[in-house]
Structure 1
Amino acid sequence: MDAVAIGQKDNSRKAYYKEFREVIEAADVILEILDARDPLGYRTKEIEKMVNNSGSGKKIILILNKIDLVPRENVTQWLEYLRKDYPTVAFKSSTQTQRKNLGHSSASTAKISDNKLQHSNECLGADDLIQLLKNYCRSCNIKTSIVVGVIGYPNVGKSSVINSLKRSKVCGVGATPGLTKHAQEIHLDKNIKLLDSPGIVFARDQGGDKNSEILLKNCVKIEQLDDPISPVELIVSRCSAQQLMNKYNVPMFRDVNDFLIHVARQRGKLKRGGIPNIDAAARIILQDWNSGNIPYFTTPPTSAITMEVENN
């Protein structure tokens, strides 16, 4: 299994992985941050196995982050599925940008109104998570404090979760992959210390759809992609043609190339001589996908994973 740390092209993968391992080894509790739109796609069972086999009694908690981007019933289904393995908390990080102190909502994520879930700037799920962590503090025979390692893919929301728990902007946050390059230590209170780890992708370079899947997780900066079209082909295969036509105000298209030609013309992305710049159009699509402007979500598997896409 190759450990691939995604950041700028000149970043040391070995250094990223060293930082990551140090967080795992130091932590008593591991918070694994998952994107609610595709929880299994962001889950690293290799790490869970490594933690469980360490013999150190470390705990794992799954955080179903970005729950405002999927239907409520989908969140409920995933919670039921994931809780068969580990404690799982539904979470929405605070999106407040102007205030120094970030707000918490004490409302249950299961009972909060759809309107507040979709439009509130306040964090949801923090109280449940903090209470769970405090229970672990009390359950230790000798220790009265715990170290909590926060892990997950690049740009899955690790730093946002920490900021929301701390109620202040103690970690850098941005839509750029690889923003956290070193482990950061944050004291939540006198008994709980958080460690934010660099984002790491565990995957072999298998080519084809496997690499495109990684690119759709916003693990590589869009401007660094040599081939932005292949992942867009995967997006087109997942979304209905009507959804994309409505989203980008384009006519019916035959394939991904035809779709990108229409988008390039619609957005004014033209080369000299009026030739559509399909690479530039593809980067627009990828940016919309990564930011959640193209709605999608997965459903828990029965015998296989089923992908569902919201139609606009």
Structure 2
Amino acid sequence: MNDEKSSFNWFPGHMNKSIKEIEQKISIVDLVMEIVDARAPFSTQNPLLRKILNTRPRLIILTKFDLSDKDITNQWTEYFKSIGNTTYIVKDKQADIYSDILKLINEMTKESQLKQKKRGIEKPQLNVLVVGIPNVGKSTVISKLSKGKTLKIGNKPGVTRGMQRIVMTNSITLIDTPGILPAKFENETVACNCAATNSIRLDVIPKERMATKLMRYIYNSYPSLIENTYKINKHVLRPIDYDDTFTIFEEIAKRNKFTILDEIADVERAIELFIQDIIKNNLGNISFEKPIEIKEISKQTIQEKDLESAIVSDLTVEW
């Protein structure tokens, strides 16, 4: 992944201080549960929270495993393990995760529970902070862990904006946070991956740039997938570059009879088709990034001023 300097502004419905609120709450938190999309686990983490969350044990829950490249997702679990995080994969939306997560919470908070018992607290009380950017499946996970208890989750913008406390057991409280995004993306790869997983609106990034970047990645990573999906005969040697993607989009346009004046291939229409196929998961089980590719991205730093301009997304589409 290249360390692009492009900046993509996010157009929020409103601004708030949720990051600061999380920072204030972290002192009472025993465990952080971070929900990420298995197709882009690094890009769908909130970079603004990395420094704050590193002060507590972290359980990373990978959702949408059923949509991802399984081999690459397994590489991600090994990566997170190598940096000291515990992971859990939600196999599919119907999976019963309650018992597994409960066991992990108790295992990961043994030290905290022991400290409370030494202070004379017979039945330790645990606070688990749940974080995740929009549409990674956070609401689905919380619904499963709340065992059907009343939860303010809906399809109206802003329903889950405020922090909420949800009882998981008599001794475990989940602190649900809004789906918070940085006000802008300094890295084009992260922005494209977030758009591909439907965590940000498509109008944040120029469609042509998003499509060419994703086409390069998918075409180079999954031999024959694009050719078989779009039934194109022209073979472009891998690895492809930026210019090659337009050749591919021209072939997709011709195959679908997308033309404009004088039988010129309507590349723009082909790009739109490709983007919609990504959003609708029509390309099958794919992932948008690998652990080996994050070194350059992880060098990026979040400025203190960006903490002041964190925004809460108004996206509500759920897995």
TM-score normalised by the chain length of structure 1: 0.66
Aligned to 1:13, the other structure's residue is in SS state coil
Confirm or deny that 1:248 pairs with 2:230.
yes
Report if aligned partners of 2:44, 2:194 keep a CA contact under 8 Å in 1: no
Query: Out of 107, 131, 141, which is 1:151 matched to?
Result: 131
What's 1:91 paired with?
89
| Partner SS state of residue 43, structure 2 | helix
Q: How does 1:132-211 map to 2 (within 5 A)?
A: 132-135=104-107, 136=109, 138-141=113-116, 142=121, 144-168=124-148, 170=151, 172=153, 180-202=160-182, 205-206=185-186, 208-209=188-189, 211=191
Match of 2:218 in 1: 239
| 1:230 shift after superposition | 0.8
1:28 alignment partner AA: D
RMSD: 4.0
Check 1:155–1:270 CA distance in 2 against 1; reply closer, same or farther (3 A cut): farther
Gaps of 5+ in 1: 96-120, 306-312
Map of 1:301 onto structure 2: 292
CA distance in 2, matches of 1:130, 1:226: 39
**What does residue range 102-141 of structure 1 map to in structure 2 within 5 Å?**
121-123=94-96, 125-135=97-107, 136=109, 138-141=113-116
SS in 2 for 1:239: helix
Whole-angstrom distance in 2 between the partners of 1:13 and 1:262: 43
Pair 131,285 (structure 1): closer, same or farther in 2 beyond 3 Å: same
Distance apart, 1:41 and its partner CA: 2.8
Q: What amino acid is the match of 1:36?
A: A
Give secondary structure in 1 for the equivalent of 2:84: coil
Structure 2 match to 1:229: 208
C-alpha spacing 1:52/1:303, structure 2 compared with 1 (3 Å) = closer
Match of 2:271 in 1: 282
Q: Structure 1 residues 51, 78: closer, same or farther in 2, change over 3 A?
A: closer
| Alpha-carbon distance in structure 2 between the residues aligned to 1:235 and 1:30 | 31
- Which shows bigger deviation, 270-279 or 59-68? 270-279
Structure 2 residue aligned with 1:219: 199
SS at 2:292 equivalent: coil
Inter-CA distance 71–221: structure 2 relative to 1 (3 Å threshold): closer
**Superposition deviation, residue 26 in structure 1:** 5.3
The separation in 1 between residues aligned to 2:74 and 2:196, in whole angstroms, is 24
Q: Which has the higher helix share?
A: 2
Partner-residue secondary structure (3-state), 1:233: helix
Deviation, 1:66, is 2.5
Matched pairs, number: 268
Other structure's SS at 2:104 match: helix
Task: Tell me by how many angstroms 1:237 deviates.
Answer: 0.7
Distance 1:180 1:210 in 2: 24
- Which one scores higher on RCO, CA 8 angstroms, separation ≥ 6? 2
Alignment partner, residue 36 of structure 2: 34
Q: Give the TM-score, by structure 2 length.
A: 0.65
The change in CA–CA distance for 1:263 and 1:51 in structure 2 (over 3 A counts) is: same
Once the two structures are superposed, what CA deviation does each residue of 1:162-187 show, in whole Å capped at 9, x if it has no partner? 1222343846377x998743333322
Over residues 93-119 of structure 1, what are the superposed CA-to-partner deviations in whole Å (9 max), with x where a residue is unaligned?
653xxxxxxxxxxxxxxxxxxxxxxxx
CA distance in structure 1 between the aligned counterparts of 2:291 and 2:62, rounded to whole angstroms: 13
Cα 1:173–1:134 change in 2 (3 A) is farther
CA distance in 2, matches of 1:40, 1:265: 36
Rg larger in 1 or in 2? Answer: 2
Q: Secondary structure at the match of 1:40?
A: coil
- Which runs of 5 or more residues in structure 2 are unaligned? 1-7, 237-243, 297-319
Deviation at 1:13, TM superposition (A): 2.8
Partner of 2:306: none
Matched, 1:62 2:36: no
Determine the C-alpha separation between the residues in 2 that align with 1:134 and 1:200: 27
Amino acid at match of 2:164: Q
**Identical aligned residues as a percent:** 23
Q: Is the 8 A contact 1:265 1:276 kept in 2?
A: yes
Rounded Cα–Cα distance in structure 2 between residues aligned with 1:194 and 1:278: 48
Match of 2:13 in 1: 11
- Secondary structure of the corresponding residue to residue 190 of structure 1: coil
